[in-house]
C-alpha cells in the first residue's frame, strides 16, 4: 500500500516544479498564528512545546522561500500588543525565540539572507536584545532579506515614520514640507525602507484579518488565510498558497 506521505511527496515536487515557471511573489509576509490553540487542541504539556514546533516550521519556511527564489520575507513573530501579556506568559516565548536567534547565527539555512529586525526592542528582555544585536551583526549581508518583526505594530511604524520625517526637516519650512510631501518621502522613514512592498501575506490559524501587520507596505498585497495552525503548516500548504497567488490577477487598486 502506497503511503500518503509518498503521494504527497510526488504532488509537492510536481507543484514546486510548476511554480518555478511562474512569476512568484518577491516579498512574502508571514503571520505565524495559532501556537497556543494548537497546544490546547493537541493537549501538549505547555505552550513552550508548540512554540518550539513553530520555530522549526519558521526555519523550514525560510528554506522553502530560498529554494523558490523569493527574495524578501517579513516574519511577524510578536506584536506590540502581545507585549502587554503577563510576564509569565511571555517569558517561555522569549526563551524559545532567543534560542531560535542563536541557532540562526550559525545555521547555514540563512546563509543567503541579510537578517534585520523591526519593532519595539526596548520592551524586550536584555538577553534577547543582545542576541538580536549579535544576529544582525553576523547576518548583516546577503542577496535576500529576512525581516523579523518583534514587538511590532503597524500604526506605531507609521507614527514613527512621521516623527522621523518631521525631525529630519525641523529646520525647514513646515508648510512647504506639507505641501510637497509624497508617499515616497514617508516611505524612506519606515522601519525597512529598502525592502519592496509585500506581494503576498499569508496568515495561519483561520483568522482573516491583518491585526496591524505592515499596514503601509500591504496596501496592494494579496492575502491568503490558511485554516491550519502555524505549528502544522506544511510545505504543501505553502506551495498551495503560492499556486493561488499566481492564479490571481493583481490590480494594484486600479
The Cα 235–Cα 14 span in angstroms is 13
Residue 49 CA: distances (Å) to CA of 16, 18, 151, 182, 230: 30, 35, 21, 46, 13
Q: Helix 47-67 and helix 235-247: axis angle, to 10°?
A: 50
98 is catalytic: no
- Catalytic: which of 82, 112, 160, 185? 82
112 is catalytic: no
Query: Is there a contact between 226 and 206 (Cβ–Cβ < 8 Å)?
Result: yes
Residue 163 CA: distances (Å) to CA of 8, 64, 77: 50, 37, 25
For the record, the C-alpha cell of 155 comes out as 500604526
Phi, psi of 252 (to 5 degrees): 55, 45
The Cα 158–Cα 216 span in angstroms is 8
First to last CA, the chain: 52
Helix (H) or strand (E) holding 86: none
- Catalytic: which of 33, 66, 98, 199? 33
Residues marked active site are found at 33, 82
Amino acid at each position: 500500500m502506497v503511503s500518503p506521505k509518498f503521494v504527497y511527496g510526488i504532488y509537492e515536487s510536481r507543484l514546486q516544479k510548476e511554480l518555478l515557471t511562474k512569476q512568484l511573489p518577491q516579498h512574502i509576509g508571514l503571520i505565524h498564528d495559532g501556537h497556543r490553540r494548537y497546544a490546547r487542541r493537541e493537549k501538549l504539556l505547555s505552550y513552550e512545546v508548540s512554540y518550539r514546533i513553530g520555530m522549526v516550521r519558521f526555519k523550514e519556511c525560510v528554506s522553502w522561500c530560498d529554494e523558490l527564489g523569493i527574495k524578501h520575507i517579513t516574519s511577524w513573530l510578536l506584536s506590540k500588543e502581545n507585549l502587554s501579556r503577563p510576564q509569565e506568559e511571555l517569558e517561555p516565548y522569549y526563551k524559545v525565540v532567543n534560542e531560535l536567534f542563536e541557532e540562526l547565527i550559525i545555521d547555514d539555512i540563512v546563509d543567503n539572507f541579510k537578517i534585520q529586525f523591526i519593532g519595539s526592542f526596548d520592551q524586550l528582555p536584555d538577553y534577547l536584545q543582545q542576541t538580536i544585536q549579535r544576529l544582525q551583526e553576523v547576518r548583516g549581508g546577503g542577496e535576500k532579506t529576512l525581516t523579523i518583526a518583534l514587538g511590532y505594530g503597524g500604526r506605531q511604524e507609521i507614527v514613527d515614520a512621521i516623527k522621523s520625517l518631521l525631525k529630519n526637516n525641523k529646520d525647514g519650512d513646515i508648510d512647504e514640507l506639507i505641501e510637497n510631501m509624497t508617499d515616497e518621502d514617508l516611505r524612506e522613514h519606515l522601519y525597512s525602507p529598502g525592502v519592496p512592498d509585500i506581494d503576498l501575506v499569508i496568515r495561519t490559524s483561520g483568522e482573516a484579518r491583518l491585526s496591524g501587520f505592515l499596514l503601509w507596505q500591504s496596501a496592494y498585497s494579496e492575502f491568503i488565510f490558511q485554516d491550519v495552525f502555524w505549528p502544522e503548516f506544511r510545505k504543501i500548504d505553502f506551495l498551495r498558497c503560492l499556486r493561488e497567488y499566481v492564479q490571481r490577477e493583481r490590480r494594484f487598486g486600479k
